[in-house]
Chain A
Amino acid sequence: QQPVQSPQAVILREGEDAVINCSSSKALYSVHWYRQKHGEAPVFLMILLKGGEQKGHEKISASFNEKKQQSSLYLTASQLSYSGTYFCGTLSGGYQKVTFGTGTKLQVIP
């Protein structure tokens, strides 16, 4: 089952904050976040592991609620370079099978 992301799209002015949510119907081992710029490949941002350990990007943070099977990505003081489509990926099996969400298109304007 594909995780569901919200919002589908958001426009921010530089310096504003945003939250992107990811929800799964399955129990999760981990949640991954990627950003994809137009015409490019997805790039890894962060992984959140069951049990609370967090790794990843220094300027963007995230949370993982295992009981609710949800994760949120927090972008603070947004920069133009934050523009792109953000995908959450969930791992619910014993292997490395990452299932990506529907995507959130974020645009930061001056």
Chain B
Amino acid sequence: DAGVIQSPRHEVTEMGQEVTLRCKPISGHNSLFWYRQTMMRGLELLIYFNNNVPIDDSGMPEDRFSAKMPNASFSTLKIQPSEPRDSAVYFCASSSGTGELFFGEGSRLTVL
């Protein structure tokens, strides 16, 4: 199994630009999670989906952030417009319901 696949691995952009992060979960997993990791706040859950349906988006910081899961094999996290405080590592994780989260390698975002 290829594991959770995220792209891009690194993104450097300027303030005000749109950023789209992508995630392909492990085949057969029915839950998908987006986390953000920073030194100050640690690992924060932004949103999670179950069977492609958003269950809890209370962690999404503001309206500039949006996430979609159009099918079982793809999800996106979009930031528009981006700000320097959005700089972080964004992780996508998937789960089959056993409780174990399988994380992707992360997307490191730098907003200048």
Contacts and interface: CB of A to CB of B under 8 A. Distances in A.
How many residues of A sit at the interface, in one of the four size bands?
Answer: 20 to 34
B100 A47 contact: yes
Interface in A92-107: 95-103
A30 B95 CA distance: 15
Contacts, number: 56
Contacts of B100: 32, 44, 47
Q: Does more than half of chain A's interface fall in helix, strand or loop, or is it mixed?
A: strand
Interface in A27-73: 30, 32, 34, 40-44, 47, 49
B105 A40 contact: yes
Nearest to B55: A95
A96 B95 contact: yes
Nearest to B4: A41
B12 interface: no
B104 interface: yes
Contacts of A44: 100-102
B101 A98 contact: yes
Contacts of B61: none
Given A95-B56, A98-B45, A103-B42, A41 B103 contact: yes
B38 to A, nearest CB: 12
B28 interface: no
Contacts of A2: 42
A30 to B, nearest CB: 6
Which of A41, A47, A91, A103 has the largest number of chain B CB atoms within 10 A?
Answer: A41
Nearest to A48: B99
Contacts of A87: 42-43
20 contacts: A2-B42, A34-B101, A40-B105, A41-B104, A41-B106, A42-B103, A44-B100, A44-B101, A47-B99, A87-B42, A95-B56, A96-B31, A96-B48, A96-B97, A97-B56, A99-B45, A100-B42, A100-B45, A103-B42, A103-B43
6 tightest A-B CB contacts, nearest first: A41-B103, A100-B43, A44-B100, A47-B99, A42-B103, A96-B31
